[in-house]
Amino acid sequence: MQTGKMLTGGCLCGGVRYRVKGEMSDVSLCHCSQCARTTGHVFASADCAADALAFEESRTLRWYRSSQKAERGFCAECGGNLFWRKIGGDVVEVTAGTLDRPTGLRLKHHIHCASRSDYDEIHDHLPQHAAEAEAD
Ligand SMILES: [Zn+2]
Ligand SMILES: [Zn+2]
């Protein structure tokens, strides 16, 4: 968890730049099929309160309604995958790779392991959850 400094980040082209004014969780690795299709592999994200996320630049930010309950934020210029949030929710998942370094974060666990692709082997000792993680 990062509580000290303010984390910042953005996509590859700079069309989206954000900062997080508050706590960020450690990084969760989601192996579900929706995350695979939009990220190309595993969705690595840290969450923060929705109202802690502020934009310095968002001219290329677009939101895609990826399911009944959620939408995903991405850059329409460079294709960078940036955010996931539940519709009407108060938490935003921020893709960990878009955070400026160092992040001070650590990997936390794997989720939706039951729906991962056949090539997707896990070779670390982090906790694995078949679906969503229990509250932590
Ligand atoms: Zn971009
Ligand atoms: Zn997922």
**Domain containing 109 — which CATH number?**
2.170.150.70
Give the Cα separation of 5 and 17 in Å (integer): 17
- Inside any domain, residue 135: no
- Inside any domain, residue 38: yes
Closest ligand, as measured to the CA of 16: 1
Residue 108 has pLDDT above 70, yes or no: yes
Output the CA 38–ligand 2 centroid distance in Å.
9
Phi-psi region of 40 (alpha: psi -120 to 50; beta: other; left: phi over 0): left
Domain that holds residue 53: 7-115
What average pLDDT does this structure show over 65-94? 97
Residue 38 has pLDDT above 80, yes or no: yes
Least confident of 2-16, 29-43, 75-89: 2-16
- Inside any domain, residue 83: yes
- Inside any domain, residue 65: yes
Output the CA 129–ligand 1 centroid distance in Å.
32
- Inside any domain, residue 79: yes
pLDDT at site 113: 97
Q: How many structural domains comprise the chain?
A: 1
Closest ligand, as measured to the CA of 78: 1
Q: Tokens 């990062």 belong to which residue?
A: 2
Share of the chain above pLDDT 70, in %: 96
